[in-house]
Structure 1
Amino acid sequence: MLFCPQCSNMLTNDMGQEVHAFVCRSCPYQFPITRKLSARTVLKQKEVDDVMGGAKAWENVDKTEIRCPKCEHDMAYFRQIQIRSADEPTTQFYRCCNDDCRYEWRLD
C-alpha cells in the first residue's frame, strides 16, 4: 500500500489509457507507475500457548471408575474444565490409568 505524502490518504490504482499511476482521491497527487512494483513480507509464526495445561495438567488429579474406550481398563484420571459459557456444564477430561495406554478422551 502506498500513501499520499501530502494528505496521508491511501493511494488507489488508476489504470488510465496512456499512463498507469497511483492517485489520491482527496488531492491532485499522482505517483506514476514506471516499473513493476512488488514486495514480499515473510510473517513470523506466533508461538501457541498450551491452553489445556500441557504435561503438568495431569499432576495431582483424582481417579474415578470409568472404562477406557481403548484398552478397557476400569480406572482413569479425570479433571473438569469450563470451556464454554458459564451457564453451560463443565467438560470432563479423562486419561487412562494404565501406563501402557494413557489414552485421553472427554465427555461433554
Structure 2
Amino acid sequence: MKFCPKCKSLMISSEGLFRCKKCGHTEEPGENTEKMTIRNKRVEKDIVIVDEADEVRTLPTVSAKCPECGNDIAEWWLRQLRSADESETRFFRCTKCKFTWREYD
C-alpha cells in the first residue's frame, strides 16, 4: 500500500503509476514497492425456493399457550413498531393452528 505524500489518502495503481483518487497526485513505483494483485471473483450463489408445503421452520420457539387452540408451543419474533425509546412488541405464532398474537411490555 502506498499513501499520498500530499493528502495522506490511499493511492491506487493505475496504468503503471500510483494515483491518488482524492487529489490526483501521481508517482512512479519505486524499487521497494511490493507488487500485489487483487482479483474480484464473483461467487455464484444458489437460490433456494421454499414452498409453503415444505413448512421450513426458521423462527425460534417458546412455551406459550395459544389463545385459540390451547397448543403449548409458539414461534416468536420481535418488531419495533412504536418509537425507538419504547420497548419492542413481541409476536407469537402457534405452531399448530398458525394463530398470531402479540404481547406488549
Normalising by the smaller structure, the TM-score range is 0.3 to 0.5
Question: Which structure has the larger Rg?
Answer: 1
TM-score (ref. length: structure 1): 0.43
TM-score (ref. length: structure 2): 0.44
